[in-house]
Amino acid sequence: MFVHPVVIPGSGTRSWTVLGDDDVPVVPVDRFLAYLTGIGQSPNTVKAYAHDLKDYWCFLGFRGLDWREARLEDIGEFVAWLQLPPAGRAGEVAVLPSMSAHVGASTVNRKLAAVSAFYAHQARNGAGAGDLLAVWRTGGRGGWKPFLHHVSKGKPYRGRAIALKAPRKLPRVLAVAEVQAILDACTRLRDRFFFAVLHESGCRAGEVLGLRHEDIAAAECQISVVPRENANGARAKSGGRTVPVGPDLIRLYADYLHEEYGGIDSDMVFVSLWAEPKGHAWTYQAAYDLVLRLRARTGIDFDPHWFRHSAATRWLRDGVRIEVVSALLGHSSVTVTESVYGHLTAEDARAELEKAGWFTGKEVSW
């Protein structure tokens, strides 16, 4: 089985499907993925669901199960199966109990979420084994209580039947010296401007690749993120927003247009300038190839998304209110921002304690 890209007839929208060993789409999965595409999920999200459901279908095939016959106990075995190495999943080798899991808890939980969403979709359409991975609970969900909690108190809510406990990972941020090293390693203004926009605006790489000249207001020093379909597949993950930027970034944009962009007839900001097809929108793959080259030059094993984490962390540490940071990042709510960045590292905590004089002038001596 394998995951294959498709283009939706009529609209030209990119999507993904899962093909069986007979090279024919797996019908229930294909319909679910088409539904996700239809409601506007990004191609990358649909692709992730496709890979997760492909793994689930491989497990069902290995067990000789029909997806409609699967029960919660089978899902438990699916979790154990996921943690085996590929050869162990196929039954080719015996796996010692002491071997570490092939995938982490976060990856397993993501795949379970995909399977759960698939079964929930099937249940809503009157097919399948019901909402297999959901349980309905009543009572509190912990210490946090939502607004108007008293109105819905006691009503059942949908919860996850199976979820592994995953360690919380802090977002990886780039030090100032690392950002400078990456920018200085860029030999072209286009490349330098790309990473400068990531650093200044906190935008996602796809949002930057989807920028058009009309989205950059030079006089106002601001960049607009506009949800739209682009030929290079770049898109805004969340709703539109406007992000203020500094005048130095606008000057770099002007230098890029004057020295490299020239007379290219395109409304896209980032285009292919030296490789064919020239003038076409710069692609994710081209940007990632640049990242690989810069990793080799700088020795920094970075990812473009780290610039977004770095911007958010910098804003919060500089005292920008979290609701403003949430709006700048395009998060759906402040709760999302808090879940990712609402933490203090040991370094942050020490700085605050030192500022408060905690380590000096103690009233008690040891």
Name the catalytic one among 71, 258, 305, 350. 305
Tell the burial category of 366 from Cβ atoms under 10 Å away from its Cβ (0-12, 13-18, 19+). exposed
Pair of tokens at residue 335: 């709760």
Domains of the chain: 2-137 (no CATH), 176-310 (1.10.443.10)
Q: How many CB atoms are closer than 10 A to CB 223?
A: 24
Residue appearing with tokens 């304690």: 353
- Beta carbons of 183 and 290 less than 8 angstroms apart: no
Q: Largest Cα–Cα distance in the chain?
A: 77
Tell me whether residue 308 is one of the annotated catalytic residues.
Answer: yes
Catalytic: 341? yes
- Which residues, in sequence order, are bridge partners of residue 242? 224
CA neighbours closer than 13 Å in the CB half-sphere of residue 284: 14
Sequence-ordered list of residues with C-beta below 8 angstroms from that of 231, at least 6 positions apart, any chain: 280, 281
pLDDT tens-place string over residues 78-129: 888 888 877 777 665 555 454 556 678 888 889 998 998 998 888 888 776 6
What is the C-alpha to C-alpha distance for residues 48 and 117, in angstroms, rounded to an integer? 13
Is residue 305 annotated as part of the catalytic site, yes or no? Answer: yes
- Find all residues with CB under 8 Å of 126, minimum gap 6, and list them: none
Per DSSP, helices labelled H in 83-215 are 86-89, 105-124, 149-152, 176-185, 189-201, 205-209
> Mind listing the pLDDT tens digit of every residue in the chain (366 residues)?
889 988 877 766 788 999 998 889 999 999 999 999 888 888 888 999 999 999 999 999 988 999 988 888 888 888 888 888 777 776 655 554 545 566 788 888 899 989 989 988 888 887 766 556 655 455 555 555 554 555 455 554 445 556 667 666 778 889 999 999 999 999 999 999 999 999 999 999 999 999 999 999 999 999 999 988 787 777 777 678 999 999 999 999 999 999 999 889 999 999 999 988 899 999 989 999 999 999 999 999 999 999 999 999 999 888 889 999 999 999 988 888 888 887 766 677 777 778 877 777 666 666
Residue 22 and residue 7: Cα distance in Å, rounded? 20
**35 assigned to active site:** no
Rounded to whole angstroms, how far apart are CA atoms 110 and 141? 21
| Distance separating alpha carbons of residues 47 and 110, to the nearest angstrom | 13
Q: Known catalytic residue: 121?
A: no
Residue 102 DSSP symbol: S
Give the Cβ contact number of residue 54 at 10 Å: 21
Query: One of 54, 192, 309, 331 is an active-site residue; which one?
Result: 331
